[in-house]
Structure 1
Amino acid sequence: MSRSAAPPTTAVLLRAVDYRDADRILTFYSRDRGRVAAIARGARRSRKRFGGALEPFCVVDLVFSEGRGDLATLKEATVTRAFPGVLTSLAGMREGGAALDLVRRITREDDAEPRLFDDVVALFEALGERERSPEDLRIAFTIRALGLVGMAPELEVCALSGVRCPPGQSAFFDPARGAIVRQALGGRGVLVSGPARASMIHAQGSDWATARFDERQRDDARRLLSAFLAAQLP
């Protein structure tokens, strides 16, 4: 089977799965290609071939060869940026890993969103700096990422009436509809406080990493996102 070399691409690793005796099947998110699946032959037999480029929480330049199958073959991988501060924090690794798994679940192959890639890198930077709560960063990143792929939860306008919920007011969020619903129209689901809604709306913007959550807001956001993702993702 003939294989052609693809142009080099910059990516982050989303997942690695051991395959057979010596190989690994890898899932990357590339800035210009979106999600990419590839096999790294011999990656388990020797670390020298790819060095640390197949580890999480770094930015890598990749070269693939592609044939007729579903998987590309990874030929070269070079680390261009590393974030050691993430790897020395259990909370940073946990929340960063959850964010990478989310990206894998909400993206499609060969469907690039450069802003999402840039926000993943911004998340690595913020987690490595350890100046903000890792969980707050992951919550804010989740809300931002969902918006970039067209899955943003609607937190301002009732799905049934089209009426905007006043700022600062609590609202019921319907996970199946992906939107708030007025109580007078049968609104049920996750009750979200006004301040929590405000923080999550803030996180939908390009300055998502500056969103702040107190303990109640954090709990509301956890419950909303857990229910929403369970309803919307397979």
Structure 2
Amino acid sequence: MPVLTSEAMVLRTWPVQEADLIVSFFTRDYGKLRGVAKSALKSRKRFGGALEPMTVARAWFAEKPRQDLVRLDQLEILSSPLSRPVDAIRLAVLSFYAEVLEEALPERDPHETIFRLTTAVLEHTTAVASNTVQPWMPLTYFTLWITRLMGLLPDIAHCTICGEALHAEEVNFNFHADGFFCEVHRHTSDTLLSADSWQSALRMLRNPVASFATEDWPRRRAQDLRRFLQNTLERHLERKLRSAEALARL
């Protein structure tokens, strides 16, 4: 069995037997994989602290003939979210990234754009750990872009029904439908999206995450947009995201 290597991020682990782990990891070159890490709980040399969710590492693994699980031989940390102080909110945001990728990505299907998106938001999620600067901006950016890249977000500049250009004061959304609606085609149960949220979303779809790093992003900013996007993800995944519920409780 030839040993393959790729940059990867750890999504989830499950214990099996006494010291082994099953590891779900998202690789840049081969997509999402699951592998058996033999004696992972005992071998600090081969895995060390690289098994924490959203750790970016160089992975060495081998595919077994006629088996779904690969043999995961080693993880070498490239960047770890735990290398800096991490508060409860950041831990919940990191768990959200991991859960969405775990649930949304198909097995063995490379998604270079999603990999680059995630590494970019990870840098800004853990860049500053303080009570005044929180990771709501990278969370918003990730949720918007992952929804778009999964094909679940129509053109947000135009009404999903009639195709007419939307205006900041009349952008409506519904928790049971994709896209945004104009005043003419809104339903009675629709919710008005704030002008700042809609304009921020338009900017985020045109610019890299780094360009928003100096802006003030308190929790309330774009909260309605995040709620709509998370609901869209849950509706299409057909399950509640436990990490989103944890974030809401914090």
2:20 matched residue in structure 1: 23
Seen in structure 2, the aligned counterparts of structure 1 residues 186 and 124 have a Cα distance that, compared at 3 Å, is: closer
1:74 matched residue in structure 2: 72
| TM-score, L = length of structure 1 | 0.86
Aligned mates of 1:215, 1:147 — CA distance in 2: 22
Matched, 1:133 2:134: yes
Structure 1 residue ranges (4+ consecutive) displaced by more than 6 angstroms after TM superposition: none
1:103 matched residue in structure 2: 101
How far off its partner does 1:150 sit?
2.6
Question: Map of 1:137-216 to 2, 5 A cutoff?
Answer: 137-152=138-153, 154-166=155-167, 168-187=168-187, 188-211=189-212, 213=217, 216=220
Seen in structure 2, the aligned counterparts of structure 1 residues 216 and 76 have a Cα distance that, compared at 3 Å, is: closer
Instruction: Choose 15-24 or 199-208, whichever is displaced more.
Output: 199-208
Instruction: Choose 210-219 or 30-39, whichever is displaced more.
Output: 210-219
What's the CA shift string for 1:133-166, capped at 9, x where partnerless? 3122212111122223333354222121111212
Aligned partners of 1:43 and 1:50 also within 8 Å: yes
1:225 matched residue in structure 2: 229
Aligned mates of 1:151, 1:31 — CA distance in 2: 22
Aligned partners of 1:173 and 1:180 also within 8 Å: yes
Aligned mates of 1:156, 1:55 — CA distance in 2: 38
Aligned mates of 1:114, 1:216 — CA distance in 2: 31
Seen in structure 2, the aligned counterparts of structure 1 residues 186 and 150 have a Cα distance that, compared at 3 Å, is: closer
- Alignment counterpart, residue 53 of structure 2, candidates 49, 52, 56: 56
How far off its partner does 1:89 sit?
2.8
Seen in structure 2, the aligned counterparts of structure 1 residues 180 and 18 have a Cα distance that, compared at 3 Å, is: same
Matched, 1:94 2:98: no
Seen in structure 2, the aligned counterparts of structure 1 residues 190 and 230 have a Cα distance that, compared at 3 Å, is: farther
Aligned partners of 1:202 and 1:208 also within 8 Å: no
Tell me the SS of whatever aligns to 1:51: coil
Aligned partners of 2:46 and 2:76 also within 8 Å: no
Q: Provide structure 1 residue ranges, at least 5 long, that are not aligned to the other structure.
A: none
Q: Percent identity?
A: 24
| TM-score, L = length of structure 2 | 0.81
Aligned mates of 1:46, 1:120 — CA distance in 2: 28
